[in-house]
Amino acid sequence: MSWLIIAFIIPIPIFHLWLHALLDVWKKHPLAYYAVCAPLWLSSFFLFRPIDQLSPYLFTPSDVLVKIGYALMALGVLGIISSFLTIGPKRFLMWAVLNPTSTEQKIVHSGPFKLVPHPAYLGYLCVALGDFLASGKLYLVAALIFLLALTPLIIYFEQKELQKRIAGRA
């Protein structure tokens, strides 16, 4: 199960960085962004299964750690789903960035955004940490470090870009 979770999560920060690095290109061809990302995302499922099978264990998780891991994963999924339901698919799936005229530009402060500025990102970090704690596999530490390193960078670029859209300069 770990490889499915990580294969789903790991491409997210890569795609967000790619989005912001080439935003002017993607805005001219918004559907191309999804057309390029989809096959790359699907390929991650083929990549992480053998990595999972070959990865050594750092530790064998106790029953308590497994329960904590599952609780973190459930909490993370709840954060992701509540973020999606609060901001809607156009914002969650970045259509509002690719095609700014399609959606009202605003900073959302309702739902889970009252508590956390980026509940979906916190959610996928919780899922990754919970996955590691529940399995004890070494490659999941690398995945977690990768996510922890890139998530603040993504948040920075998103905040900067959102401020431009709200000011009407994007």
Q: For position 101, what pLDDT does the model report?
A: 87
Q: For position 71, what pLDDT does the model report?
A: 98
Rounded Cα distance between 126 and 124, Å, is: 5
Residue pair 6/132 in contact (Cβ under 8 Å)? The answer is: no
Residue pair 79/122 in contact (Cβ under 8 Å)? The answer is: yes
Rounded Cα distance between 53 and 75, Å, is: 26
Residue pair 157/89 in contact (Cβ under 8 Å)? The answer is: no
Task: Report pTM.
Answer: 0.91
Low-confidence ranges of the chain (pLDDT < 70): 169-170
CB neighbour class for 21 (10 Å; exposed up to 12, middle 13-18, buried from 19): exposed
Rounded Cα distance between 11 and 37, Å, is: 9
Structural tokens at position 3: 């490889």
Residue 58 φ/ψ, nearest 5 degrees: -80, -35
Q: For position 165, what pLDDT does the model report?
A: 83
User: Helix, strand, coil % (nearest 5) of the chain?
Assistant: 80, 0, 20
Total residue length of the chain:
170
pLDDT tens digits, residue range 30-78? 999 999 999 999 999 999 999 999 999 999 999 999 999 999 999 999 9
Residue 107 φ/ψ, nearest 5 degrees: -90, 125
Q: For position 105, what pLDDT does the model report?
A: 81
Q: For position 169, what pLDDT does the model report?
A: 58
